[in-house]
């Protein structure tokens, strides 16, 4: 860690300053980009700090240092994607180990867990983690790993991290929290007792929709070291340029999220009052089932939401054809607003049965709220919704 990080600076300062003016060669203020696959040895049998790019790279390490500081962990591994970060954790399980995952997790996470279970790497059980009876019964099966995703994707269900941690620790399970939807700016799972935080850095941490990346932050230094070793063994490390870009994006994480979540609150309030909308899933609304837990466990309600339209798939088609200011695309957490239809996009691979169990219906749309002017976002949505109101 640089000297700046050692003297307990506030998270906003850490995000803006880790690695700044640390270049000893030319005094560059922005961290230099090290595009090298290999490093010269100092002499016979004596490597320098780095020897080979799969094992280590200064840009990857700087990003890992920043995420470790922001999540309050002991160390981090930067991977080539969010899925690679999850697979890094799963890869260290034994064939009989059970993973307890949310029934409404990101579709790609469900696909990965099912695939690894099918291959015999582990077994997996999907449960409604917001249902106390269901999770308590599932913990009786002594899982090795409990994976939590809160808020969940796309229904924004909130679970009480500290409560699950307490129960999971009683049965000796490790706890990993996918913190992609909020980032450490709004939620710090390690402080609530989790062992690992997983990120798709593709989303808020990078924030500009131009990188695919991931990270695992560990609470325990030995575990962080093990994960780093395992990332080298399997070769899942993130690219130096992606790490450099992600650190650059991270500089503005706090102000971005502040504006994005203010926009989100305005959009959610507008949607909740619209006659063509039957439900709005945004934890910032006091009507949301998880509002009280979110208010306690998070430092803000984030900028993701989903909502349901009257009129089924036909209404979805018409809305998507007419909405403005929102681009129809997967992913989230960038500066631009996006709309996605989970049933045919992000959660298509889950299959209709798993979607129905999770409560993801064909009328559901997910929004990632960006940095545009609030009034333009609302007019853009109005443009799409007016075509439904006129038709009904
Ligand atoms: N976790 C969550 C909550 C996600 O939404 C995603 C992707 O959308 C991932 C993990 C996977 O990340 P990546 O696309 O970077 O592999």
Mapping DSSP onto H, E and C, the string for the chain reads CCHHHHCCCCHHHHHHHCCCCCCCCCCCCCCCCCCCCECCCCECCECCCCCECCCCCHHHHHHHHHHHHHHCCCEEEEECCHHHHHHHHHCCCCCCCEEEEECCCCHHHHHHHHHHHHCCCCEEEEECCCCHHHHHHHHCCCCCEEEEECCCCCCCCCCCHHHHHHHHHHCCCEEEEECCCCCCCCCCHHHHCCCEEEEECCCCCCCCCCCCCEEEEECCHHHHHHHHHHHHHHCCECCHHHHHHHHHHHCCHHHHHHHHHHHHHHHHHHHHCCCCEEEEECCCCCCCCCHHHHHHHCCCCCCEEEEEECCHHHHHHHHHHHCCCCEECCCCCCCCCEEECCCCCCCHHHCHHHHHHHCCCCCEEEEECCCCCHHHHHHHHHHHHHHHHHHC
Q: Is 4's pLDDT higher than 90?
A: no
Residue 310 sits in the same domain as residue 229? no
What pLDDT is attached to residue 198?
98
Cβ–ligand 1 distance for 319 under 6 Å, the answer: no
Residue 124 lies in a domain: no
With a CB cutoff of 8 Å and minimum separation 6, the contacts of 244 are: 31, 33, 59, 63
- Domain end marker among 250, 282, 310: 250
Residue 184 sits in the same domain as residue 273? no
What pLDDT is attached to residue 377?
98
Residue 183 lies in a domain: yes
Residue 12 sits in the same domain as residue 43? yes
Residue 169 sits in the same domain as residue 282? no
What pLDDT is attached to residue 7?
63
What pLDDT is attached to residue 8?
85
What pLDDT is attached to residue 358?
84
Residue 215 sits in the same domain as residue 325? no
Residue 85 sits in the same domain as residue 191? yes
- Domain end marker among 219, 250, 281: 250
pTM comes to 0.95
What pLDDT is attached to residue 1?
45
- Ligand 1 centre and the CA of 199: distance in Å? 7
Cβ–ligand 1 distance for 183 under 6 Å, the answer: no
Residue 113 lies in a domain: no
Domain count, the chain: 2
Q: How confident is the model at residue 6 (pLDDT cuts 50, 70, 90)?
A: low
Q: Which of 34, 106, 196, 204 is catalytic?
A: 106
Atom of ligand 1 nearest to the CA of 213: 15
What pLDDT is attached to residue 389?
67
Atom of ligand 1 nearest to the CA of 331: 8
Q: Give the residue, 357 or 390, on which the prediction is more confident.
A: 357
Residue 350 lies in a domain: yes
Q: Which of 60, 92, 157, 203 is catalytic?
A: 203
The mean pLDDT value for 337-355 works out to 92
**Atom 5 in ligand 1: which residue has the minimum CA distance?**
106
Residue 144 lies in a domain: no
Residue 222 lies in a domain: yes
Cβ–ligand 1 distance for 108 under 6 Å, the answer: yes
Cβ–ligand 1 distance for 174 under 6 Å, the answer: no
Q: Is 95's pLDDT higher than 70?
A: yes
With a CB cutoff of 8 Å and minimum separation 6, the contacts of 29 are: 20, 21, 23
203 has catalytic annotation: yes
What pLDDT is attached to residue 180?
97
Pocket probe mutation, ligand 1, options 182, 199, 203, 204, max atoms within 8 Å of Cβ = 203
What pLDDT is attached to residue 382?
98
178 has catalytic annotation: yes
- Ligand 1 centre and the CA of 106: distance in Å? 7
Residue 238 sits in the same domain as residue 258? no
- Domain end marker among 228, 250, 272: 250
Residue 341 sits in the same domain as residue 218? no
Residue 262 sits in the same domain as residue 186? no
Cβ–ligand 1 distance for 205 under 6 Å, the answer: no
Least confident of 186-200, 344-358, 371-385: 344-358
Per residue in 159-172, pLDDT (tens digit) is 999 999 999 999 99
Domain coverage including residue 243: 3-94+163-250
What pLDDT is attached to residue 36?
97
**Atom 14 in ligand 1: which residue has the minimum CA distance?**
82
Residue 131 lies in a domain: no
Percentage of the chain lying above the pLDDT 90 cut: 92
Cβ–ligand 1 distance for 153 under 6 Å, the answer: yes
Q: Give the residue, 392 or 207, on which the prediction is more confident.
A: 207
Residue 265 sits in the same domain as residue 244? no
Residue 45 sits in the same domain as residue 185? yes
The mean pLDDT value for 140-149 works out to 97
Q: Which of 178, 204, 228, 256 is catalytic?
A: 178
Q: Is 91's pLDDT higher than 80?
A: yes
- Ligand 1 centre and the CA of 66: distance in Å? 20
Q: Which of 54, 114, 125, 167 is catalytic?
A: 54
CATH of residue 69: 3.40.640.10
114 has catalytic annotation: no
CATH of residue 340: 3.90.1150.10
Can you say whether the dihedral through the CA atoms of 235, 215, 1, 205 is positive or negative? positive
What pLDDT is attached to residue 354?
86
Percentage of the chain lying above the pLDDT 70 cut: 97
Residue 77 sits in the same domain as residue 65? yes
45 has catalytic annotation: no
Q: What angle do CA 340, 110, 241 make, to 5 degrees?
A: 70
**Atom 16 in ligand 1: which residue has the minimum CA distance?**
82
What pLDDT is attached to residue 156?
96
What pLDDT is attached to residue 107?
87
Residue 82 lies in a domain: yes
The mean pLDDT value for 39-62 works out to 97
């Amino acid at each position: 860690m640089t000297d700046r990080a050692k003297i307990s600076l506030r998270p906003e300062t850490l995000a803006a300053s880790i690695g700044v003016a640390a270049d000893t060669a030319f005094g560059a203020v922005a961290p230099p980009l090290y595009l090298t696959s290999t490093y010269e040895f100092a002499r016979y049998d004596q490597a320098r700090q780095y020897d080979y790019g799969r094992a280590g790279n200064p840009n990857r390490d700087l990003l890992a240092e920043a995420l470790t500081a922001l999540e309050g962990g002991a160390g981090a591994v930067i991977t080539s994607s969010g899925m690679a970060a999850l697979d890094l954790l799963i890869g260290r399980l034994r064939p009989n180990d059970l993973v307890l995952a949310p029934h409404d997790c990101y579709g790609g996470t469900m696909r990965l867990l099912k695939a690894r279970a099918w291959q015999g790497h582990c077994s997996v059980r999907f449960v409604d983690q917001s249902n106390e009876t269901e999770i308590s019964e599932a913990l009786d099966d002594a899982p090795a790993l409990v994976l939590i995703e809160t808020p969940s994707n796309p229904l924004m269900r909130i679970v009480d991290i500290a409560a699950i941690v307490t129960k999971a620790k009683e049965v000796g399970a490790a706890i990993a929290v996918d913190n992609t939807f909020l980032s450490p700016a709004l939620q710090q799972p390690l402080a609530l007792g989790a062992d690992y935080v997983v990120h798709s850095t593709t989303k808020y941490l990078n924030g500009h929709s131009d990188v695919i990346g991931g990270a695992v932050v560990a609470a325990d230094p030995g575990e962080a070291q093990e994960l780093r070793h395992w990332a080298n063994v399997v070769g899942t490390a993130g690219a130096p340029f992606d790490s450099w870009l992600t650190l650059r994006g991270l500089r503005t994480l706090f102000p971005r999220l502040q504006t994005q979540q203010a926009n989100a609150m305005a959009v959610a309030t507008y949607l909740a009052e619209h006659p063509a909308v039957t439900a709005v899933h945004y934890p910032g609304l006091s009507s949301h089932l998880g509002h009280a837990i979110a208010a306690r466990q998070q430092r803000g309600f984030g900028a993701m939401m989903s909502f349901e339209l009257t009129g089924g798939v036909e209404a979805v088609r018409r809305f998507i054809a007419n909405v403005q200011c929102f681009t129809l695309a997967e992913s989230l957490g960038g500066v631009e607003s996006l709309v996605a239809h989970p049933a045919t996009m992000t959660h298509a691979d889950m299959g209709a049965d798993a979607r129905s169990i999770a409560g993801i219906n064909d009328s559901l749309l997910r929004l990632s709220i960006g940095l545009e002017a609030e009034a333009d976002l609302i007019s853009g949505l109005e443009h799409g919704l007016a075509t439904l109101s006129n038709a009904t």
